[in-house]
Amino acid sequence: MVVCSLACWRCRWLLPLLLGLAIIMGIIALAGRGWLESESEPYVHQASLWESCTRSEQDINWSCESLMDYGWGRAAAATYLVGFVILVICFALAVIAFSVEILRFNFVRGIGGLLFVVAAFQIIGLVIYPVKFTEEIPLIGDNMFSWAYGFGWASTVVVIGCAFFFCCLPNWEDEVLGNIKPTYYYSSPERAPYLN
């Protein structure tokens, strides 16, 4: 039976891999035009973190308005972007921390603390956007917050999970470094006659 948890030497790359996945989802959220979309036909509205686009039912061209003209638009973009930049820094630090033969576990715990800061920035951006968007931008028809917005939340959830693991990983320092000897439970037949 093969058992591999975060407290095993071979699996030390799982956390940097998860951070890389969070970065990919963050890139999709930052670049995607699916933060808000029309729910059903006619598809007359779509928005990204950066702009809101509308069109009439007969027109095929989108008319876009920058959300950076609004204070809340700049705030939502800035907080999510700052969180993303700190996430990239944490990824680089995690790769360095897990590449070194002797891990610096206080360093790993610091990465966990930074990841909580990333989560806070991303949550602020992800909450400001829908609240202020629905208040200040006229919506046409039925609209939904869509796939790119979902990738933003998925990235944030992965970051929160990684933050907990990075903060708790120093508790298993000996297991990760291989300093602990395995414990064998052996009982002789004389000591446990009921096993015969």
Q: Give the CATH number for residue 103.
A: 1.20.140.150
pLDDT of residue 64: 86
Residue 190 domain-assigned?
A: no
**Per the domain annotation, does 44 fall within a domain?**
yes
pLDDT at 4: 44
Average pLDDT over residues 110-131: 94
What is the pLDDT at residue 60? Answer: 79
Report whether 162 contacts 19 (CB < 8 A): yes
For residue 102, being part of any structural domain is answered with yes
Residue 194 forms part of a structural domain: no
Average pLDDT, the chain: 82
Beta partners for residue 175, in sequence order: none
Examine residue 115 and state whether it is found in any structural domain, yes or no. Answer: yes
Asked, for residue 186, whether it belongs to a domain, the answer is no
Pairing of strands 45-47, 51-54: antiparallel
Residue 141 lies in a domain: yes
DSSP E strand boundaries for 48-162: 51-54, 63-66, 143-145
Q: What is the per-residue pLDDT for 180?
A: 65
In a domain, 112, yes or no: yes
Convert the pLDDT of each residue in 56-85 to its tens digit: 777 778 888 888 989 989 999 999 999 999
| 132-189 confidence digits (pLDDT tens) | 888 888 877 788 888 899 999 999 999 999 999 888 876 666 555 566 666 666 666 5
Instruction: Name the DSSP letter for residue 126.
Output: H
Structure tokens at 154: 């998925």
**How much is the pLDDT for 87?**
96
Contact 82, 119 (CB under 8 A): no
Domain count across the chain = 1
Give the per-residue pLDDT at 185: 65
Whole-model pTM above 0.75? yes
- Going by C-alpha positions, the residue among 164, 161, 173, 155 that lies closest to residue 12 is 173
| Residue 170 CB-half CA count within 13 A | 14
Cis omega (within 30 of 0) for bond into 42 = yes
Structural domain containing residue 101:
22-177
Q: In whole angstroms, what separates CA 157 from the centre of its chain? A: 5
